[in-house]
Structure 1
Amino acid sequence: MATSTSRDHLLGMLTREFERVYLEVCARGFSALGRTSPDHPVVRDDAWQHHPAWPPSYEAYGRYRVLDTLRKARSLRPERVLEIATGGGFTAACLYEEGREVVANDLQPTRELFGAWTTGERLRWESGDFFALDPERLGTFDLVLACEVIEHVAHGDRMLAHLRRFLRPGGTLMLTTPNGAYFRSKLPTHSQVEDFTALESQQFKPDADGHLFLYTAEELERLCRAAGFTQVDVELSVTPFLSGHAGVRLLPSRPALGRVYLALDTWVRRLGPAARERLCTQMLITARVP
């Protein structure tokens, strides 16, 4: 593993050397990407930022999910980016580049956390419920990013229609969300919910406890097209060889085996669409406007 690589350059390597970057982040935490302010009190002792985590484990899964999102988003080369429900703003901070405007939104008052990131002071902050954001005021964007959000929203169709308003012609909406068809999933999927209005009082809660229901790839693609999106693509990723689900976490987890588990994960995903649908826990969806 090359430790002499300039840390910030790892972000630029994501699209062509994803495995290398992933293993670096497994070894050193997200601080390896060079966007973490090392002395900031919020992240000084944060395990996700500074501690190693190797597959198969939940921590290795989380690292993969973030990096895969950054890989796809950066490959689109957007000039203006809106991220809703940004949380601490780390993804937004990693997307910032000279000449690119990144607008970060969250329901919680997390703007002060942006000081934890080396590019945080260059993020534009928009607080509040993303449904209250107005494209007449914010303008339109090349990329709208919603990571792990739609499963917390009672009316996903309304969310998609609202976010579409922020996209320029040819712009892209990117969603990440758990795969409702995953064999370990215990929540109902969108088509199994009878009363979405009854879920309104439970929406917008954080973390996995706030998941109202999940989506299958087919359900989410159908909703995106109904909202006026075209070129809807769904990527399924993260098998138990990375996440540690189904007892795989009991296998040895150490640096020398990182590439082995990545290879096994890739092999499972190549078994075909039916296998991916049942064995992958994560979805990344891109949907474009005409």
Structure 2
Amino acid sequence: MNSPLTTDVPAAGYVHGYSRREARRLGDQADTLATLLHSGTSYPPGSRVLEVGCGVGAQTVHLVTGSPGVRLVAVDLSDDSLAEARARVAAHAPQAHVEWCRADLFDLPFADATFDHVFVCFVLEHLPDPVRALAGLRRVLRPGGTVTVIEGDHGSAFFHPDSAWASAAVRCLVRLQAAAGGNALIGRELQPLLTAAGYRDVRVAPRTVYADPSRPELVRGFTRDTFVAMVEGVREEALAARLVSPEDWDRGLADLRRTAGPDGTFHYVFFKGLAVNPADGGACGE
């Protein structure tokens, strides 16, 4: 690898962007990992469920499919993402009862104790203060209601053939996300985050993805079309921030793509947490 460069990391923004390519990647990820991530999450008909940060609706489809009859409110900051989410759900689950709402996670327009359950997937990783976000959600969650949180952890990625260049490319994404105020390693922190936010009965468990040529659907859907595509998507930002030279980046991406080849393997861990809003109310954070 070449010598380290002086860096100029940008300090704001959603690191993955809002392109059509990113929307497709999110859809591929959700569909490929639906069983892994949504197993064990099922809400009774009539339940009031809030999905925070629904984005383009990639997870929303699987939420309403796995819990028919729920009354779901899906919230996001982006009008464009909400429009795409609405269209996605209409195409895949036309009978679902979904209310779409443009709102800020930190200023939700709902009365106290409105919801029975809250679902948060791949949102905390982009927030500078995840404890504040989780604590604030307790206001709209009824006492005794549950929150489900799913996050990844880029530090859990290892692969064959091993490559220092590929690992450096992944670290570029981690650094860019940190500079934007997020944390690409947040999965390992879910238990202490939920506890610090005042939830009780916190349970967190790993959901591991392992892909090799005997599992071609995971090689395509996760290794190539989700993880490698995600790293590829920050090329211009990584080069502009001078985190890596163009030569090292190209070497790293070539090596990363090899993990989806006939001699490649890939490992990654998501973390899924379930917790309860205390019946005694406790102290909701600001």
User: Please, what TM-score do these two structures have when normalized by structure 2?
Assistant: 0.56
C-alpha distance in structure 1 between counterparts of 2:98 and 2:136, whole Å: 22
1:231 aligned partner: 201
Aligned residue for 2:87?
A: 115
Which piece of structure 1 moves more, 168-177 or 233-242? 233-242
Cα gap change, 1:90/1:228 in structure 2, threshold over 3 Å: closer, same or farther? same
Corresponding residue for 2:152?
178
Other-structure match for 2:230: none
1:249 match: 260
- What is the rounded CA distance, in whole Å, between the counterparts of 2:201 and 2:96 in structure 1? 34
Instruction: Give yes or no for contact 2:53–2:76 (8 Å, CA) kept in 1.
Output: yes
The one-letter code of the counterpart of 2:185 is L
| Contiguous gaps of at least 5 residues in structure 1 | 1-41, 50-58, 194-198, 204-210, 254-260, 266-278
Give the match's secondary structure for 1:182.
strand
Please state if 1:81 is matched with 2:40. no
Measured against aligned partners, the alpha-carbon deviations of 1:150-190 in whole angstroms (never above 9, x if no partner) come to 010001111111112222222111111112541546337xx
Structure 1 residues 280 and 131: alpha-carbon distance in aligned structure 2, compared to 1, 3 A threshold: same
Matched, 1:105 2:105: no
What's the secondary structure of 1:130's corresponding residue?
Answer: coil
Matched, 1:125 2:100: yes
Q: Determine the structure 1 residue equivalent to 2:284.
A: none
The 2-side partners of 1:251 and 1:154 are apart by 39
1:250 to 1:239, Cα distance in 2 relative to 1, 3 A = same
Structure 1 residues 71, 180: CA separation in 2 closer, same or farther (over 3 Å shift)? Answer: same
1:131–1:159: 8 Å Cα contact kept in structure 2?
yes
The aligned amino acid for 1:126 is C
Identical aligned pairs, as a percentage? 26
- Corresponding residue of 2:59: 91
The equivalent of 2:38 in structure 1 is: 70
**Aligned in 2, Cα 1:73/1:212: closer, same or farther, shift over 3 Å?**
same
Aligned-partner SS, 1:281:
strand
Aligned-residue offset at 1:239: 3.2
For 1:1-290, what aligned pairs fall within 5 Å after superposition?
59=28, 62-74=30-42, 76-77=43-44, 79-96=47-64, 99-109=69-79, 110-113=81-84, 114-116=86-88, 117=90, 118-119=93-94, 122-136=97-111, 139-179=113-153, 181-184=155-158, 186=171, 187=174, 202-203=180-181, 211-217=182-188, 219-241=189-211, 242=218, 243-244=222-223, 247-251=258-262, 280-290=268-278
TM-score in terms of structure 1 length? 0.55
More strand by share: 2
Is the CA contact (8 Å cut-off) linking 1:181 and 1:216 kept in structure 2? Answer: no
The structure with higher relative contact order (CA 8 Å, sep 6+) is: 2
Cα pair distance change 1:285/1:47, threshold 3 Å: closer
Residues 226 and 121 of structure 1: CA distance in aligned 2, closer, same or farther (over 3 Å)? closer
- Over aligned residues, Cα RMSD in angstroms? 3.5
The residue type paired with residue 226 of structure 1 is A
Residue 236 of structure 1: CA displacement?
Answer: 1.2
Write the letter of the residue equivalent to 2:261. L
Report SS of the residue matched to 1:67.
helix
